[in-house]
Every structure is written in C-alpha cells, then in structure tokens.
C-alpha cells in the first residue's frame, strides 16, 4: 500500500485508493480524526470521479466543485449520484460499486455474515445483486424499468430512459421520465425498498436503516423518534425535505446520528457503524 498521507482535512494530494483500502482501515483511522474522515468522504466523490487530486483543479474550478459536493451532501438522499446523460456513462459519473469500501472505512466495520437480524426480505437466489424491485445497470442499482413503466418499457437503456425491447426501434420506442433529465428523479432512482433516492452500489441496507451517499445509516426517524425523519447529511436529520431544511430550526445535527442500524441492539451480527450496502442481503452467492 502507498504511504499514508499526513493528517489533515484538505490534503489535496491524498491517494483515494490508499485512503479507502478496506484492508488498511485501522491504519487509516489512526491518521485521520473522526471529523476529517467524515468531511473527506464528501470530497472523495470529486477526487475519484475526475481522477485527479483537488490540488490540480485549482482556483475557481476547485471552489465551484467543492461547493457542488456540499450542496449534494446537504440536499440529496440515496446512494450514488446517478448523474448521466447517455446510455453508456451512467455508472461512470455516478457513485459506482467501487465506493463499497467508503462506508466500511468510515464505520470501521464490515459485517461478513449473511444471517443478519433485521435483514430485508429478498430473493437470495435470483442472480440479482440489487434489491428485488431493482435492476443492475452499469454497476448501479436502479428501480426496474418494468415497474416504472407498468411493464410497457421493461428494458433500461440509460439512467433516465427505458425501452420496449424486441424488434422496436430504440429511437422511436424509448421513453424518458421527463424532457429535462434531473439526477435522482423520474427513472434515475433506486427502488422503493431503498427509499427511491439516488441509484446505489449493489447490495441493500437493513430494515431499520436508510441509504445516504451510498452508505447505510440507522434511520433518522428512529434516531429522533419521528421528529426529524429526513437525513440530509452524515450527522444531520431534518423535519423537511429539500430547501426547507436550510432553516437551522428545522434540522438537528448530532455525532450519534452517524451510526448503523445495529447500534444499541445488543446483537453482534448487526453493524453498529455506518457501512456500505451489503451484497449478502440481496444474493447469497455474493456473501
């Protein structure tokens, strides 16, 4: 493994591959404090997506990129960003399955047993690594086109489009959710079982968890007894969705919100720390 960086939030030459290597979670956690680790998570998407360090972006471009990530961290729910416009780049600009190590690093744990309590009811022998109401498309899990279009356009051709299939023309018989594609809306969403947020990497969360930026957390509704049911950041829950949460009186931030569904249940088989989606919950062969 490459030498680890010095401790610091904005170490712009940070190697993403070195930082998020699951095999070196303990070593990494000694160098990065809790606050640095959590904020580095929001920055990691840009570093990995553009395959250059933040230090090389420079000036206004760097500032604009970071501002965009902060907005996403505040307002988006769900896993990947699902930010694509053509049928062959969907997963490349969204959060792909390569992100499966992020939750493990931040939560300092990765459950390995498939017989977890509070596991969702899933068909573990159907060859589908996504939830039962989802389909895998370019490394991300989306709600099935069959369900989104009542069976009329069952084949997914991009993040935002579905196709009739068969001998029909992809040009004239392809359907999009809206005239202006918007990330994590219309057909570019996860299944109902995963909260209809952004598409995410393969796997699922526990029944008492929700997914945010491709990481599973204990539900805000449970952590706040229903008072702040919407997760808008790693450690922040809100009374409302979207811009309504910008009012500080509508949100609550607590370090204890960044936990997994197993926190406090006394069951060692359930993850107490936040974690990436678990493939063993959706397909036995991947456990």
Domain boundaries along the sequence of the chain: 1-75
Give the pLDDT of residue 249.
Answer: 92
What are 74-109's pLDDT values in tens digits? 443 333 333 333 333 333 333 433 334 444 445 435
pTM of the model: 0.61
Q: Distance between CA atoms of 78 and 213, rounded to whole angstroms?
A: 6
Q: Which residues lie closer than 8 Å to 102 by C-beta, 6 or more apart?
A: 20, 41, 44, 214, 215, 276
Summarised one tens digit per residue, pLDDT across range 212-240 is 999 999 999 999 999 999 999 999 999 99
Between the CA of residue 233 and those of 125, 256, 276, what are the distances in Å?
Answer: 34, 12, 16
DSSP calls for 95-138: --GGGHHHHHHHHT-----S--TT-----TTSS-SS-TTEEEET
Q: Which residue has the tokens 């069959």?
A: 146
- Tokens encoding 219: 């539900």
pLDDT for the residue numbered 115: 54
**In the 8-state DSSP scheme, what is residue 3?**
P
Radius of gyration from C-alpha coordinates of the chain: 19
């Amino acid at each position: 493994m490459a030498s680890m960086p010095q401790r610091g939030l904005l170490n712009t030459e940070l190697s993403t591959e070195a930082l998020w290597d699951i095999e070196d979670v303990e070593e990494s956690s000694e160098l990065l404090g809790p606050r640095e680790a959590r904020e580095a998570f929001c920055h990691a998407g840009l570093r990995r997506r553009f395959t250059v360090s933040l230090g090389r972006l420079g000036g206004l471009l760097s500032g604009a990129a970071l501002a965009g990530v902060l907005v996403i961290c505040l307002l988006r729910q769900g896993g990947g960003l699902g930010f694509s416009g053509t049928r062959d780049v969907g997963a490349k600009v969204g959060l792909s399955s390569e992100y499966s190590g992020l939750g493990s690093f931040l939560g300092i744990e990765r459950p390995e047993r498939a017989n977890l309590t509070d596991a969702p009811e899933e068909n573990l022998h159907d060859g589908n690594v996504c939830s039962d109401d989802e389909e895998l498309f370019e490394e991300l899990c989306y709600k099935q086109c069959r369900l989104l279009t009542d069976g009329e356009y069952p084949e997914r051709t991009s993040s935002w489009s579905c196709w009739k299939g068969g001998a029909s023309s992809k040009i004239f018989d392809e359907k999009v959710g809206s005239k202006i594609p918007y990330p994590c809306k219309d057909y570019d969403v996860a299944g109902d079982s995963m909260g209809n947020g952004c598409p995410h990497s393969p796997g699922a969360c526990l029944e008492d968890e929700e997914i945010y930026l491709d990481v599973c957390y204990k539900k805000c509704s449970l952590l706040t007894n229903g008072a702040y049911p919407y997760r808008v950041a790693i450690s922040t829950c809100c009374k409302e969705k979207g811009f309504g949460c910008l009012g500080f009186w509508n949100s609550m931030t607590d370090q204890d919100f960044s936990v997994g569904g197993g926190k406090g249940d006394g069951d060692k088989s359930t993850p107490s720390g936040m974690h990436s989606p678990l493939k063993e919950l959706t397909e036995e062969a991947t456990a």
